[in-house]
Structure 1
Amino acid sequence: MNPPEGYTKAGPGEVCHLKRSLCGLKQASRQWHVEFCSKLLDFGFVQSAFDHCLFIKKSDHSYLALLVYVDDVLITGSHDEDIAVVKAYLHKAFTIKDMGSAKYFLGLEIARTASGTYINQRKYIMDILEDTGSPLSSPDRFRRLVGRLLYLNLTRPDIAYGVQQLSQFVNAPCTEHWDAALHLVRYLKGNPSLGLFYSASSSCSLTAYCDADWGACVDTRRSLTGYCVFLGDCLISWKTKKQQTVSRSSAEAEHRSLSMTVYELLWLSYIAADFQRTKHLEIDCHLVRDQFKAGFVLPQKVSSQFQLADMFTKALGPSAFHKLIGYLGLQDVHHVPS
């Protein structure tokens, strides 16, 4: 076969000799993943048991972390020389295209300063605005929009509750649902540059807020769980999710919400252990009570005006909503000091 576009090793008139063609087959992506992972493991990387896309290589004097999404790779480390060695190894094995310092990755716009890192999805939002300028013509347009909003939630926790509500109607959306989606799009149009800032001087302590809205779904009477987790002052995880079963009391709904939050904290602690940010914890406790007794979580009462998870479980008024956004650490890139 002719060399694929971007492959620079082949000389003029040369072609590729295939032992077996996988292109277009269902197992192609799996075989690529197996091959790529094996090369990383041979080079000394260790695959995280808690996120299989994460590979870690560490020694007494250096540290490398590599994150894989299909054939897109982000790599970081303590020394530029070590990163260059990994790039050379991968280029020899697969012929990679080095894009330099990460500025745009899978729809994420990344900006770095000495004080920290800022990420947003402004271009992604502008693409959404461009594609939603005409009225609803088929359910597919609503589904596509909701799917894009779900991905946008990666850097916009302020739309988590609205997107969760919209995603419930992707099977049979009505005009009212499309209007509600456009209302959310208009909100995004007003602040497309809003994103998250991660301070370089943030502490490594985990703090979480969780809340539940008992019987929030009028059709199933199931409750909503909302939580957000901070590493120091930096927001790193958040979610709005309908609970799987009906809670018979508000206390039961709150306990289910707290349980989901503790599970997230446990997972984050294991990832932090892979990054050498905290001591490793054994995976043997699963209940809130066990984690409380172990000293892993310390539940505290939070008043409504400071309950950050409130915006993940219900629609709030403008003043309360914008006040909580400020606590989440969302900033506009056009107003961040360079």
Structure 2
Amino acid sequence: MTPGFRSSKTDVSLFYYTAEQSRVFLLVYVDDIIMMGNNDDLVTTLLKQLSTAFKIRDLGSPGFFLGIETVRTGDGLLLSQRRYMTDLLGRSGMVDCKPLTTPTSVTKVVTPSDTPYENPTQYRRIVGASQYLTITRPDLAYAVNRLCQFMHSPTVDHWNLVKRVLRYVKGTLDYGLQLTPSSSTTIHAYSDSDWAGCPIDRKSTTGFAVYLGSNLISWLSKKQRTVARSSTEAEYKALADVSAEVTWVVSLLQELGLHSGGPATLWCDNLGATYLCANPVFHARTKHVEIYYHFVRDKVASGDFVVNYVSTTDQLADILTKPLPSTRFAALRDKLNVAMLPPCA
């Protein structure tokens, strides 16, 4: 590696170089490399130095990286997987399907079916490929996570759910994740849980969305490992999950010298969970909660995190925990910075 580059301890694929006020970041994935910095001359110099030690080719401004297209917009970049989505529709025979406005239904409950799907390999292949779409499409995270829960024994009903997701993909081929310049480097995150939302095992679903300034940088939709005895417990577990993610983000920013120094703000729509984060007393109703969930209390006590209440109406992570009506879904999708490609792209 070129002298001066340092390996990130937080992300093993990341290397960074600092010279006074200039910074250059280099991200490596096998034989694909992307380099960026705030000094064009320094970037050019470092590329020349790298070319003396490695056989590399400068492709200029990023067009595609790991199958993700970067499209320049008037106020930033839009990350798109339009080609990948088109290919996925072709592989599943859904190119000419009728589009839908949401990937999940608010009326149809997913329950075990007695009719197994005749081609489980196809189900696993299409759902497995759909997971890659969630890299730039947080609006698909909940639906794809739910489909992944039936990989072991998919039924005809489960395959119908796959087709619904693909019909939504068909109607949103021109959508991607918008990234815009932001003067703020503060971190704020929304955490939510759908208590006992799974009709099969009554486990809850955790969802969170982490923002750096105005940009969405991390999100998750995942079924919790244990059954929660109350909505407060389910929300508290979700807060623990987002706390771990925010801790990692803060560690990375501190290492790169980009952290603002202020505490991260976590937004939760359950008052009981917010009180539990600030109160060190173990109440009778939370004695059974695993100890490792309580590290969020330590973060609050040390001043690293601030946990605030947000109304359910303004809870952005709601889209990551349950099916929503089309109007509500579209509104939250916009707030997750999922936007349409410009007409000329």
After TM superposition, the score normalised by the length of structure 1 is 0.81
| Letter paired with 2:78 | Y
- Radius of gyration: which is bigger? 1
2:246 is equivalent to residue 265 of structure 1: yes
Cα separation, partners in 2 of 1:335 and 1:287, compared to 1, 3 Å: farther
Residue 75 of structure 2 corresponds to 115
Cα separation, partners in 2 of 1:143 and 1:177, compared to 1, 3 Å: same
Partner SS, residue 99 of structure 1: coil
1:70 alignment partner, one of 16, 30, 36: 30
Q: Measure the CA separation in 2 of the matches of 1:239 and 1:260.
A: 9
Residue 184 of structure 1 corresponds to 165
Does the 8 Å contact 1:205/1:231 carry over to 2? yes
Q: Post-superposition shift, 1:286?
A: 7.4
Does the 8 Å contact 2:185/2:260 carry over to 1? no
Q: Measure the CA separation in 2 of the matches of 1:279 and 1:117.
A: 23
Q: Post-superposition shift, 1:169?
A: 1.1
Q: Measure the CA separation in 2 of the matches of 1:202 and 1:192.
A: 30
Choose between structure 1 and 2 for higher RCO, CA contacts under 8 A separated by at least 6 residues. Answer: 2
Residue 92 of structure 1 corresponds to 52
In the alignment, structure 1 segments of 5+ residues that lack a partner are 1-39
| Letter paired with 2:91 | D
Partner SS, residue 212 of structure 1: strand
2:183 is equivalent to residue 197 of structure 1: no
| Letter paired with 1:46 | R
Q: Post-superposition shift, 1:202?
A: 4.2
Residue 60 of structure 1 corresponds to 20
Q: Post-superposition shift, 1:163?
A: 0.4
Q: Measure the CA separation in 2 of the matches of 1:93 and 1:286.
A: 48
Residue 80 of structure 1 corresponds to 40
Q: Measure the CA separation in 1 of the matches of 2:118 and 2:173.
A: 26
Alignment of 1:286-301 (within 5 A): 287-301=295-309
Q: Measure the CA separation in 2 of the matches of 1:44 and 1:264.
A: 29
Cα separation, partners in 2 of 1:268 and 1:119, compared to 1, 3 Å: same
Of residues 220-229 and 132-141 in structure 1, the stretch that sits farther from structure 2 once superposed is 132-141
Q: Post-superposition shift, 1:178?
A: 1.4
1:324 alignment partner, one of 329, 332, 338: 332
Q: Measure the CA separation in 1 of the matches of 2:152 and 2:212.
A: 37
Does the 8 Å contact 1:115/1:201 carry over to 2? no
Residue 252 of structure 1 corresponds to 233
2:191 is equivalent to residue 210 of structure 1: yes
| Letter paired with 2:226 | T
Identity of aligned residues (%): 38
Query: Residues 229-276 of structure 1: CA distance to partner in whole angstroms, max 9, x if unpaired?
Result: 111221111100111222222211111100111111111111112332
Partner SS, residue 227 of structure 1: strand
Alignment of 1:137-286 (within 5 A): 138-278=119-259
Q: Measure the CA separation in 2 of the matches of 1:264 and 1:335.
A: 35
Query: Residues 291-331 of structure 1: CA distance to partner in whole angstroms, max 9, x if unpaired?
Result: 11222222222222211111111111111111111211211
Q: Post-superposition shift, 1:89?
A: 2.9
Cα separation, partners in 2 of 1:266 and 1:137, compared to 1, 3 Å: same
Q: CA RMSD in A?
A: 2.3
Q: Post-superposition shift, 1:198?
A: 1.4
Q: Post-superposition shift, 1:68?
A: 0.8
Q: Post-superposition shift, 1:160?
A: 0.6
Does the 8 Å contact 1:146/1:163 carry over to 2? yes
| Letter paired with 2:189 | A
Q: How many residues align?
A: 294
Cα separation, partners in 2 of 1:230 and 1:186, compared to 1, 3 Å: same
Q: Post-superposition shift, 1:179?
A: 1.3
Residue 6 of structure 1 corresponds to none
Q: Post-superposition shift, 1:113?
A: 4.5
| Letter paired with 1:214 | W
| Letter paired with 1:239 | L
| Letter paired with 2:301 | K
2:318 alignment partner, one of 302, 310, 313: 310
Does the 8 Å contact 1:116/1:201 carry over to 2? no
Q: Measure the CA separation in 2 of the matches of 1:85 and 1:174.
A: 57
In the alignment, structure 2 segments of 5+ residues that lack a partner are 98-116, 263-292
After TM superposition, the score normalised by the length of structure 2 is 0.80
| Letter paired with 2:199 | V
Partner SS, residue 123 of structure 1: helix
Q: Measure the CA separation in 2 of the matches of 1:204 and 1:259.
A: 22
Q: Post-superposition shift, 1:118?
A: 1.6
Cα separation, partners in 2 of 1:137 and 1:83, compared to 1, 3 Å: farther
